[in-house]
Every structure is written in C-alpha cells, then in structure tokens.
Chain A
Amino acid sequence: MIHLQNIHKSYPSDADSGLVLGFEDWRVARGGQVALIGESGSGKTTLLNLLSGLVQPDSGIVSIDGTDLAQLSEAQRDRFRADHIGYVFQSFHLLDGYSVKENVELGAVFAKGHPQPGRAVELLEAVGLGHRLQHMPRQLSVGQQARVAFARALMNRPKLLLADEPTGALDYENGKQVLAMLLQTARESNITVVCATHDMEVAAAFESTVRVEDLQ
C-alpha cells in the first residue's frame, strides 16, 4: 500500500544541514496500522505531509497504492488526496461558519463521486452525533469536535487515513474512545492508518510502531 523509497526531504531554512528526512525504504501493507513516534522536529508531520502529497520530496518515490505521488502534477496530487486520503489533525481544524454536517460533507466535496447524499449523516450517527447535525463546531465539546473530524476524514471512503496527534487535545477518556473508534473503523474497512504521536500509550494501540529517527 505505502512504499517510500530513497526519500530525501530538506527545508532550505533549516538551521543545520537542512535535512529533515532521509531514508532508503519503508513499506506499510494495505490495512496496516502504524504509529509514528519520535522527538519533536524528527519529521513525523513532514512524513505525513509527504504521504498526503501536500509536500513533495526532493528526491525519491512516494507510492500510495501503486501511484507514485512524485510523478503527479500538483493538481493530480490534490485529486488523489481528495479521492483516497483522509486526514485528522491534532486541533481537528473544523471550519467555522459551517455546521457539523457541512464540515463532514467537506471531506468529499473535492472527491470523485461527490455528492454522497446521506453519508455525512450516517457517519455522524455512527460517532454518536446524529442529534447535532446543524450545530456549529464552537457549540461542541472538544471530544465531539474530534469525532466530527474523524467522520470528515472517512467521508471520502479513504484508502489511507493519516492522523497527526489525534488525541493530543483530548483528555484521557475521550482520547481513548476516539482512538478505539478510529482503529476499529479502519480495521473493518481495511483502511491503512498512519498516525503521528508522541504518546507511547497511544502508539501501543497500533499494530506496529516506527520511530522516525530509526528510518534515517
């Protein structure tokens, strides 16, 4: 499913050598659930951005389900991301001015096959928010916002789900619930999950754990 080969990524502004990521080979099988751990600045988020196509490597192959993102134009990568990738952010990044239901619908607005009537409601009911469809994000608790973000990430029926510290803003109980929901749904739908976290307890819930520094 995921195959990264001879990856080299640096930012010119980096104070040291500029090198952020550099490794020869990394694979994740379809349906795999991988936790990325590492020190701050080790490149966890950069690796997620490479997998989503938001950032391009200086060199190397980023292959998702047989498609080398590096060979696609930016617009094609955007379309690939819209069709096949779901993303959950640490602070959830729900959009103000859009209702809960609309925020979830945004997850498939740019995907092939849009619109998918009823799917947003189904997902929100599945995460226990079927009664808050027309509420605005600011009217929800942090735990509820996390569930909305999770529903949005599933809206386009992704093959790959990327999560950047998804429980970082949640208390222990909410974090545990959201994580369990995420992993169970991914397992049922055969979705590959890559999750960046600094929380070893969260990492332990995944099938495998990869320390980013070890990839280098």
Chain B
Amino acid sequence: MRLHTMVLRNLKRRQLASILTGLSVSLGVGLFATVGALREASEQGFNRSASICDMLVGAKGSGLQLTLNALYHMGQSQGNVPYAVYEEIAATPGVLWSVPLAVGDSFRGQRIVGVTSNLFSDVHLGGANLAEPLAFADGGPFAYSRAEFAELKSELGQAAAEHSSEAAHVDHDHNAHLKSMFKAVVGADVARNTGLMVGSKFTPAHGVEGVGGGGHQEAETEVVGVLEPTGTPLDRAILIPIGAYYVIAGHEATADMVAGGTRDPRGLSAVMLSTKAGFYRTRIFRSLNDRLDAQAVYPSQEVRKLFSIIGQGDMVLRLITALIVVVALVGVMVAIYNTMGARRREFAILRALGARRSTILGLVTGESAVIALLGGVVGLGLAGVLIYAVTDQVHAATGVRVTVVPGAAELQLLAAVTLAGAVAGLIPALSAYRTEAAYYLSSNI
C-alpha cells in the first residue's frame, strides 16, 4: 500500500464531503476557465479575422469603428471614401493587392458586401505567409475584376453627367451585362442560416439590419458559390460583385450629391489591402493618413486596442471567478480541518507504525490536493461544456468561431489549482503534523 492509496482511501471514507467540496472547486475552476478560454479564443479569433488584410482604408473617424464595420460586419459605417482613393491605392508601389468594399444591404440579417473577385484568390487566412486560401464547399467564385469595376464606374459617371437633373438611370431589363453581375458567394453560416445554396436566388434588402428598408426587386441575385467555414466574419457575409452594388436601385449617384464627401454614394465603404512589409507599409500608411478624405488603420492594432479596452472588465470578471476558486479551496480546507479532531487517533496509529510527521503532513495535504485536482478536472470538463454551449452565440455575434482544445494553459491552471489545494490543506495538515502520538494512543482517549 502506497501513500497515494491511503490518500484515496481516506477520501473514499468521507465520500460525500469529498464530492461536495470537489464540486465547489469544479464550479469555480469551470467559471474561471470558461471566462479565460472565451476571452483568449475570442482574441485569437479576432486576430485571425484581422489578418485577412494588412491595412484597411476608410472614411476619417474611428479606426476601431472602421475595422469592426468593414471586417467584422458590426455597427454602422462611418462614411465612404472616394473611389479615386482606391484607384490610387491599387496603383501604389508596394501594394500587393487591394479589394474595395461596399456595404449597406442585407438579406435576412446577413450583410451583403460588394467586392472584386480577386478577394477569393488574394485573401489568405492567418496572414499572407500561411497557405490558407478561401476554399469553396460548393460552386466557385464569381468573376468581377478591378478593370470591370473601373469601367462600370466610368459608365456610371458619364450617365450621371448626361442626366444631370435626375438619378443616373440603369436599364436593368435591357442590359445583359449588368444583369450578369447579380451573382453571389455566401459564407458557410449564411448558407446554414438562410438555406441559400448554389443556384438559389434571393433579393437584397436595403439596410444592414435586415429590417426597415425595402427590397431591391430588380436585383434578384443568384448564388454561385458557398465558402467553406473560415472561423471569421466571412462566414456571415454574402459577397457580390461590387459593381452590382452600384447599379442596384437607390444606390445611384444623383446630381445634388456632394461629390467626394463621406456621404458620396459613388464612394466606397472601405478598401482592404495587403502591402509589402516594412518601409513600403509604413510609407503607404502615412501617406494615406496625411489625406483629408481617408484614413488607414492596421486591423490587428485596432483589435489589440479593443481588447485593451475590454481588458479591464475582463480582469474584474477573472478576479471574481478566481475568488470563487479561492472560496472553494477555503471550503476544502475547512472541511478537512473539521475532521482533524476525529482523526487524531488515526494519525497517532500511523505514527506508532512508523509514519513520520512529514508523512502525516503529506497525507493531509495530499487529500486536499487530490480534491482540488479532481475538482479542477471536472471544472475543465464543465468549462468545455459551457464553451460548447455558448460558442454558437459568440459566433453569431462576432463571426468568430471559438474552439477550445485543452492545452498548456489548461494544464497550468490544473497544476495551479492542485498546488493551491495542497496549500489550503497545509493548515489542517500542520494540525495533524503536531499530533502527539503517545497521547492519542493512550487507552483513555
């Protein structure tokens, strides 16, 4: 019989108390691990999404709002950047690729984003160095190049000039070229939530919340591709050729618009771009921010800022859950301490059989540590269940798929809780350590 057998045997003798105290530890550890894992996984997910591009260019204003709106499809756009900015960016040395974005419509709450088709080939999830191009579960990308977009913008500009007193008119019925633009690639979640699949047709609605604005009946769009899940907000996006966005009724330029401003309907919601690293990136970033009509932001930095803002609240939450663990461990200590009186004779017998005081100390701290360890293991299991239960909600809110695979952090937490359990057991253990065997072996005790 070994010491650990004796520890387990003693816990089994007080099964109910051991289970109850262990459960209190598991609840604390479960909450602590859940909060930590959700935060970390969310940050990783946000960072993964932020790595879609190196830089975002949008209207002057909050960089965080620009990032959240353009990349995460959250909140409202703070305005448009002139189309000319995109053209300049695309022609700037050091820019590897750029994708213009136009948002403002939706379908059943899923945002519709106008893009050029190079997004499907240029975007690599996890950063440009990671070979994770966008993959299709079904169908394929639509074709809509920057040149086609430039051509369309030119046509629309001329049309606006010719109809100076009314909205630039687009004849959908007689323009096969324009009709062919109404194609869409949908994210994995969109496909699941809306039932859209390759060959499905839908009608975009004005507005990003899917309520309020009316439908664009003239812009019935056919789904040509469904993306594989990416764990990013792309899963929740309906991607259409950006040109289609500009020919949908209600998006046309009007004669009384203020050209070049943030409300210029001919402008773009944002531009995603990837650049060469180092000098080029810094120069492009600075030159864009020197402009009066646009700003450039690094999405990864904005995400870091976001997490530093919410970090304070997160810290309080972590502290509270850590306190729950501490209280549970104090409960373990009290539960074991309360048995000390009845166990003096047991310790005295073990001493008479040759057990050292340190062995008695180890026995009691071992019991406390094992309760904490088992509580911790159950707690981590509980955390896994909790995280599994909320992962869909987090994904629905942020587009970030939270996955929790037990790793080094969980093992460290388990080790820390076990150690803390052993420390909590020290007070009753010291009491046991001081047991005078000769006194308690007396027949009268």
Contact = CB atoms under 8 A, between A and B. Distances in A.
B1 A109 contact: yes
Nearest to A165: B443
B10 A97 contact: yes
Nearest to A105: B1
Nearest to B437: A54
Interface in B353-406: 353-359
Interface string B53-96: 00000000000000000000000000000000000000000000
A75 B443 contact: no
Which of A45, A87, A107, A110 has the most B CB atoms < 10 Å from its CB? A110
B353 A106 contact: yes
Interface stretch (B29-37, B216-224, B295-303, B342-350): B342-350
Given A83-B354, A93-B345, A102 B443 contact: no
Interface in A90-113: 90-91, 93, 95-98, 102, 105-107, 109-111
Interface in A18-76: 45-46, 49, 52, 54-55, 74-75
Interface residues of A, number: 36
A115 interface: yes
A98 B8 CA distance: 11
A209 B385 CA distance: 71
Contacts of B345: 93
Contacts of A111: 354
Contacts of B357: 74-75, 78
Interface in A80-138: 81-83, 85, 87, 89-91, 93, 95-98, 102, 105-107, 109-111, 115
Contact of A110 (B12, B13, B359): B359
Contacts of B359: 110
Given A49-B438, A89-B441, A164-B443, A97 B9 contact: yes
Contacts of A109: 1-2, 6, 353-355
B351 interface: yes
B354 A81 contact: yes
Contacts of A87: 352-353
Given A96-B13, A97-B12, A110-B359, A54 B1 contact: no
A200 to B, nearest CB: 19
Contacts, number: 80
A156 B358 CA distance: 21
B121 interface: no
A143 interface: no
A54 B443 contact: no
A110 B443 contact: no
A90 B351 contact: no
A54 B13 contact: no
Given A93-B345, A102-B1, A79 B10 contact: no
A168 interface: yes
A11 to B, nearest CB: 10
A206 B75 CA distance: 96
B353 A110 contact: yes
Contacts of B437: 54
The 9 closest A-B CB pairs, nearest first, are A82-B354, A110-B354, A97-B13, A49-B438, A78-B356, A90-B443, A54-B438, A93-B349, A81-B354
Interface of A: 45-46, 49, 52, 54-55, 74-75, 78-79, 81-83, 85, 87, 89-91, 93, 95-98, 102, 105-107, 109-111, 115, 152, 156, 164-165, 168
16 contacts: A54-B437, A74-B357, A75-B358, A78-B355, A79-B354, A87-B353, A93-B348, A93-B441, A97-B10, A102-B9, A105-B1, A106-B1, A109-B354, A109-B355, A110-B353, A168-B443
Given A97-B9, A110-B353, 8 more contacts: A45-B442, A54-B438, A81-B352, A87-B352, A93-B348, A95-B349, A106-B1, A109-B6
